[in-house]
Structure 1
Amino acid sequence: MDIKRSLALLFSSYGCFLFGQEKAIDTIYIFDNQMNRVKLFHPVKTITAEDTEKNSTNLSELLRFQSQVYIKENGRGAVSSPSFRGTTAQQTAFVWNGININSNFLGQGDITNMPLFGYDQIGIKAGGGSVVYGSGAIGGSIHMNNTLDFNKGFHGGLFSEVASFNTFNNFVKGSYSNDRFSFKASGNYSVSENDYKVSDLNYINRNGNYYNTTFNAGASYKITDEHKVSWQSQFFDSSQHYPIYEETATKTKYKTQSVRSLIAWDWNKTKFSNSFKAAYTEENFQYFGALDLPKSSGGTGKNYILKNDFNYFLNSKWNINLIGEFQVNKGEGYKSGIVDVSRNVGSVSALLRYFVTKDLRFEGGFKKDFVEDINSPALYSFSGKWNTSKWYNVGLNLSKNFRYPSFNDIYYEPGGNKDLRPETSVQVDMNHEFKVKNFKLTVSPYYMGVTDLIVWLPTALGYWQAFNVNKSESYGLESQLSFNKQLGNHKIGLNAGYYYTRSIDKETHKQMPYVPIHRGTANVDYEYSFLKFFAQGLLNGGTYITGDEDRKAAIDSYFILNAGISATVSKRYTLGVKVNNVTNTYYKTVSFYPLPKRNYSVYAAINF
């Protein structure tokens, strides 16, 4: 494949951007038009819609077993937060169809209140990405993407599951497309009593019930061969009760609703493309200190976003990419001291790519953010990738990233601090990829230093306050081994990973809390004719929960095994059974809140 064809395919985020004399059929629209460019230099793990059915409880479970992300979860279905490479939840960016959707108030995403179903793919990218994806993309980013096909006619599907603890999960989807128009819609409803028992602690997950509802819709229309307009929206409603230890304790709950909507206009020519997006996102949340009383606290956050992505080929070797973005962030709190706050945020990014040959390429990036009332640093990135041979390629990535303070960090009363500085990070990683026949091994050592870390600390006045105090550094190794083979009707796939993480508080020289030093995952898939089998393993090393590395208080290491089998008839009808925690292991990811022991589910799926 010559360099022109490589560019045509790799940069065709929406299918029709070509270079030179190349010609391709426009068959798919991807809302995150940067993702294919990111994959030129960075490993991105893709979790497909079919993969989500293996871990259908929630997004926390999916990420725990199918990615390198460490998940800290306060019991099944409760508050949950991610950690890449020993960083905090606020240093992880959630990106919905190319738009950063971290909370205005918390500066992070609560995974439990991120829908699991309704995406065509979920991408997991470790390492910094603030030059492209903005504040919070320090440790890594989680990408929830939708696509729209053309010339595919009508397709539909239904997934329905009954599981332990009176859990019911239903998902329906439908799509239609011709050569000019594409439409897709889906809906999901999940509900659970979630009253599991853990005999090791004589624990019952009382008041742990939850439900959530999601609706997704998207459409795209080709005005001409060069111009396309598209739309994508998501509506989410959720209620989760917080577990109590005794029946006489006060029962509490948390409710949230979110709206995300964007429209896009794409203009594609032979040598350039331009994607303009206008987006609106809204988050609403209410906390009830007692189930039968009015809400105790809450808030509403609204974001108005304009983003333009211009991509131009100077010639077959040089490519320039300019990204401009402007946001208005608004917040209104209830009993939090946050009263009608507003913040303007703008940014300008420039990326220059040089393709020496089809096997050697480089990218340099620069970004300047303009955040109202905050002095933001200039950011940069540099990446290179060299496919030295058929069996080995190497990549290098260096970047400076940041996170500006959230509304809670600045305005919460009491405790907000208007003098906070943004967190900044400088990091470097190398990616070594080896291929031998059906095996592929990726080994990625990394180093990251974070300064001006924002933490909340107790004060002499009896309340907690936000400060820039900590410095930390993380270093470690991520490795991934995959194997895929088909022999007649037999098909086998293996994905295994080992992750070593040292995240050190530079003041105490101790491991940061809730960062396991050793962690491993393995996923095995076997398919024969109409039968499919999968097994998942998770090994989590001992995890300190305090900053002084107290071994007595630490969470013990554990190994979890899941398995499932399914049968598909006429390529349309599937019936399956899953067993989670086959070994009936007692485990937890935070103190006091164990996760379920062995549990079961039965599901059926129809595709037409």
Structure 2
Amino acid sequence: MNRLLYIFIILILGNVNVVRAQLDSIQKLDEVLLSDVKLKRYASGFKVSVLKDSVLTKSPWSLTDLLRYNSNIYFKENGYGMVSSPSFRGTNASQTAVVWNGININSQLNGQVDFNTINTSNYDSVEIRSGGGSVQYGSGAIGGSVHLSNDLSFMKHTDHTVRMGYGSFDTKRANYGLSSGSEHWSVNLGIAYVDSENDYKYLGTDKTNKNGQYDNLSFNLNAGYLLNDHHVFKLYHQSFVGDRNFSGTLLAPSKSKYEDTNYRSMLEWGYFNKQYTSKLKVVHLLEEFKYFENKDAEYFSFGRVQSFIGNHNLNIKLTETIDLRTIIEFAKYSGNGDDFANPNRNAFSATALWRHQVSEPLIYGLSIRKDITSDFESPLVFSVNGEYRFSESYAIKLNGSKNFRVPTFNDLYWNPGGNLDLLPESSYQVDFGQEFSSKFIDLKLNAYYINTKDMIQWVPDNTGLFRPQNINKVKSYGGELEVFLKHTIGNHHFKMNSGYSYTVSENDANAKQLIYVPLHKANINFGYSFKAVELFYQHLFNGEVNIIGGQLDGYDVGNVGLSYNYELSRNVHSILQFNINNLYNTTYENVALRPMPNRNYQLQLTLKF
């Protein structure tokens, strides 16, 4: 691995020297403002959905709640506010990548991100990229990826945002945001705190959700400085500190507790001109947990992983129509814990992305990636994508890719049960999409097929001990429909966005639908505004899902909200919002024997100045 590190350093220095030799006048491109430009520029044939601030502010603050009603992703949640796992296009939680400002932050322990540990109030946008993304984002991006982005604005401004909320189950929320800048510097920060007794009723019983309390604090700081016409320095930081009791089930109470901490920091140096863009990133990630089987006892189990990542991006504009981007990355992962000793992993990857605008309507892209790791062999992965625009209102998109997921520290080293002979999961997939757009309506229609082999699953051996094995072959296929409507009549504004997904995800061994993958899922968001008043309604339908030993019924859940915008003074704008969640008081579970909340209420005040 020392040789790999040496190669990595030489390539970076070589690339930087080439760039410096090509100094030219500055162009104010997305390269300056964003850390993850490749999300869209090298994904012409992929479906990318963007959720902006206007959507984020109307949803509860967790990433689970936001995406549950605004995407085709299904969530398996162990009671409200507890561990939340996604299923994207029929894949499992560790096959969905979460990307923070261009960096994959999936856990090195279990390969997942708990979506209830991501507070969306501190982000400018959340983007959903459907389909395989292992070439660009590494291990885990098989079903798709979710991107958390912070924007830096290099213009003279200072904006403050304060949000305060109170709701049922003694739920308190507070958030402060600052964005400030000039032509040479930019900074934004966000602080968010959530605290809840979370003692909702179990409808149809005389029980309540006991031991479900949680609180968490999130802090984001992002800053940038334009040194001159060619150089920009940026800092990104995010902290999360959570303290949750784990609620029990209808049949078994719980006294357990879970404390988790995540720190993420990234320094970025960017150089740009008309032909070349160079970005050097240095990243530190820390994930840590303490699990108490009995919250009243002093004993706990502990786990911790630190990740150090060096990443260099070089984008070369070969001609007016051809771009080439190379990405070189070295990562070192170090863990220690009560159940997996002291594992370490070194990883090196080299990636090349090609984008060619053949003509005004036709764009295609090619990409390839090779990973070298210290503890097993990773496959060569690739991606091909393209878009053809027949007119301003109709386009088709196509992509195909090979993707992978590496075994996690838990898979390899958990004691007892870890398996050092595991192979990485690999997947082939193809996705065909059509997009229609007009003045009033946008429509996206996609069909996909995913074939995954060497899927890692924990199964009992002949002694009854659960161990991970490469046993399953899974095929997933289906269709997705998204519809966006917008219309204005005088002072009356109407908006609607909706989605439907049909998902088949079968184990080849028995041709049965995987557990916790609904065949049908649909959502709709409707908004109406008149002058200072806005009314919105959300509805979610989840079809029945297979569980071990049976099926879990489908359900319909609706939320409604009303907001009023008014000026407190010349420079202070306020929004008062009232939400009713689970409007129809529906009894439902998305994990067996773990009921979700009854009808509940939330009041929120937002101040902008």
TM over 0.5: yes
Q: Deviations over 1:522-568 (max 9, x none)?
A: 0111121111111111111111113xxx6xx3111211111101011
Question: Relative CO higher for 1 or 2, CA cutoff 8 Å, sep ≥ 6?
Answer: 2
1:105 aligns to what?
109
Q: 1:256 aligns with which of 243, 248, 260?
A: 260
Residues 1:176 and 1:314: Cα distance change in structure 2 (over 3 Å): same
C-alpha separation in 1, matches of 2:469 and 2:494: 51
Moved more, 45-54 or 341-350: 45-54
Q: Secondary structure at the match of 2:448?
A: strand
2:57 aligns to what?
53
Q: 1:353 aligns with which of 352, 355, 367?
A: 355
2:500 aligns to what?
498
Once the 2 structures are TM-superposed, how far is the Cα of residue 35 of structure 1 from its aligned partner? 2.2
Q: 1:567 aligns with which of 541, 548, 564?
A: 564
Unaligned 5+ residue runs, structure 2?
1-21
Q: What is the 5 A alignment of 1:18-29?
A: 24=28, 29=33
Question: 2:44, 2:385 within 8 Å by CA — same for their partners in 1?
Answer: no
1:140 aligns to what?
144
Once the 2 structures are TM-superposed, how far is the Cα of residue 117 of structure 1 from its aligned partner? 2.1
AA aligned to 2:535 is: F
Residues 1:25 and 1:263: Cα distance change in structure 2 (over 3 Å): closer
Residues 1:25 and 1:292: Cα distance change in structure 2 (over 3 Å): closer
1:454 aligns to what?
456
Once the 2 structures are TM-superposed, how far is the Cα of residue 38 of structure 1 from its aligned partner? 4.2
Q: 1:463 aligns with which of 459, 462, 465?
A: 465
Question: 1:27, 1:150 within 8 Å by CA — same for their partners in 2?
Answer: no
C-alpha separation in 1, matches of 2:459 and 2:28: 57
Question: 2:263, 2:286 within 8 Å by CA — same for their partners in 1?
Answer: yes
1:15 aligns to what?
none
Residues 1:511 and 1:283: Cα distance change in structure 2 (over 3 Å): same
Residues 1:253 and 1:518: Cα distance change in structure 2 (over 3 Å): same
Q: Secondary structure at the match of 2:216?
A: strand
Question: 2:455, 2:473 within 8 Å by CA — same for their partners in 1?
Answer: yes
C-alpha separation in 1, matches of 2:75 and 2:485: 26
Residues 1:426 and 1:156: Cα distance change in structure 2 (over 3 Å): same
C-alpha separation in 2, matches of 1:247 and 1:42: 44
Q: What is the 5 A alignment of 1:69-148?
A: 69-148=73-152
Once the 2 structures are TM-superposed, how far is the Cα of residue 488 of structure 1 from its aligned partner? 2.7
C-alpha separation in 2, matches of 1:249 and 1:525: 40
1:425 aligns to what?
427
2:594 aligns to what?
593
2:364 aligns to what?
362
Residues 1:345 and 1:363: Cα distance change in structure 2 (over 3 Å): same
Once the 2 structures are TM-superposed, how far is the Cα of residue 114 of structure 1 from its aligned partner? 2.2
Q: Deviations over 1:356-405 (max 9, x none)?
A: 11221100011101111211110000001000112210010000000000
Q: What is the 5 A alignment of 1:161-240?
A: 161-240=165-244
Residues 1:408 and 1:70: Cα distance change in structure 2 (over 3 Å): same
1:13 aligns to what?
none
2:334 aligns to what?
330
Once the 2 structures are TM-superposed, how far is the Cα of residue 341 of structure 1 from its aligned partner? 1.4
Residues 1:404 and 1:97: Cα distance change in structure 2 (over 3 Å): same
Question: 2:36, 2:101 within 8 Å by CA — same for their partners in 1?
Answer: yes
Question: 2:247, 2:254 within 8 Å by CA — same for their partners in 1?
Answer: no
AA aligned to 1:569 is: Y
C-alpha separation in 2, matches of 1:585 and 1:46: 30
Once the 2 structures are TM-superposed, how far is the Cα of residue 339 of structure 1 from its aligned partner? 1.8
C-alpha separation in 1, matches of 2:468 and 2:202: 36
Residues 1:26 and 1:472: Cα distance change in structure 2 (over 3 Å): closer
Once the 2 structures are TM-superposed, how far is the Cα of residue 436 of structure 1 from its aligned partner? 3.8
Q: What is the 5 A alignment of 1:516-527?
A: 516-527=518-529
Once the 2 structures are TM-superposed, how far is the Cα of residue 598 of structure 1 from its aligned partner? 0.9
2:18 aligns to what?
none
Residues 1:431 and 1:299: Cα distance change in structure 2 (over 3 Å): same
AA aligned to 1:153 is: H
Is 1:30 matched with 2:27? no
Once the 2 structures are TM-superposed, how far is the Cα of residue 500 of structure 1 from its aligned partner? 0.1
Question: 1:26, 1:150 within 8 Å by CA — same for their partners in 2?
Answer: no
CA RMSD of aligned residues (A): 1.9
C-alpha separation in 2, matches of 1:387 and 1:433: 9
Once the 2 structures are TM-superposed, how far is the Cα of residue 57 of structure 1 from its aligned partner? 4.6
Question: 2:161, 2:177 within 8 Å by CA — same for their partners in 1?
Answer: yes
1:555 aligns to what?
552
Q: Deviations over 1:392-447 (max 9, x none)?
A: 10010000000000000000011100000000000000110122441111110000
Once the 2 structures are TM-superposed, how far is the Cα of residue 489 of structure 1 from its aligned partner? 1.9
Please report the TM-score for the alignment, with normalisation by the length of structure 2.
0.93
Q: Secondary structure at the match of 1:381?
A: strand
2:578 aligns to what?
577
AA aligned to 2:344 is: S
Is 1:318 matched with 2:315? no
AA aligned to 1:595 is: M
2:389 aligns to what?
387
2:516 aligns to what?
514
AA aligned to 2:220 is: N
Q: What is the 5 A alignment of 1:339-350?
A: 339-350=341-352
C-alpha separation in 1, matches of 2:427 and 2:231: 39
Q: 1:288 aligns with which of 282, 288, 292?
A: 292
| Percent of aligned pairs with the same amino acid | 36
Q: Deviations over 1:557-595 (max 9, x none)?
A: 211111101011127111110001111111110101011
Question: 1:204, 1:245 within 8 Å by CA — same for their partners in 2?
Answer: no
Q: Secondary structure at the match of 2:69?
A: helix
AA aligned to 2:371 is: D
Q: Deviations over 1:309-361 (max 9, x none)?
A: 11111111211111111100111012x0x222110011101111111112211
C-alpha separation in 2, matches of 1:42 and 1:328: 30
C-alpha separation in 1, matches of 2:305 and 2:227: 34
Q: Secondary structure at the match of 1:409?
A: helix
Question: 1:206, 1:245 within 8 Å by CA — same for their partners in 2?
Answer: no
AA aligned to 2:142 is: I
Q: How many residues align?
A: 584
Once the 2 structures are TM-superposed, how far is the Cα of residue 284 of structure 1 from its aligned partner? 0.6
Q: Secondary structure at the match of 1:408?
A: helix
Q: Secondary structure at the match of 2:564?
A: strand
C-alpha separation in 1, matches of 2:299 and 2:54: 38
Question: 1:286, 1:295 within 8 Å by CA — same for their partners in 2?
Answer: no
Question: 2:42, 2:354 within 8 Å by CA — same for their partners in 1?
Answer: no
C-alpha separation in 2, matches of 1:559 and 1:178: 48
Question: 1:400, 1:427 within 8 Å by CA — same for their partners in 2?
Answer: yes
Unaligned 5+ residue runs, structure 1?
1-17
AA aligned to 1:497 is: G
Residues 1:161 and 1:137: Cα distance change in structure 2 (over 3 Å): same
C-alpha separation in 2, matches of 1:319 and 1:295: 56
Moved more, 283-292 or 18-27: 18-27
Q: 2:402 aligns with which of 391, 400, 403?
A: 400
2:533 aligns to what?
531
Q: Secondary structure at the match of 1:198?
A: coil
C-alpha separation in 1, matches of 2:266 and 2:526: 37
C-alpha separation in 2, matches of 1:119 and 1:423: 31
C-alpha separation in 1, matches of 2:135 and 2:251: 50
Once the 2 structures are TM-superposed, how far is the Cα of residue 63 of structure 1 from its aligned partner? 1.1
AA aligned to 2:562 is: I
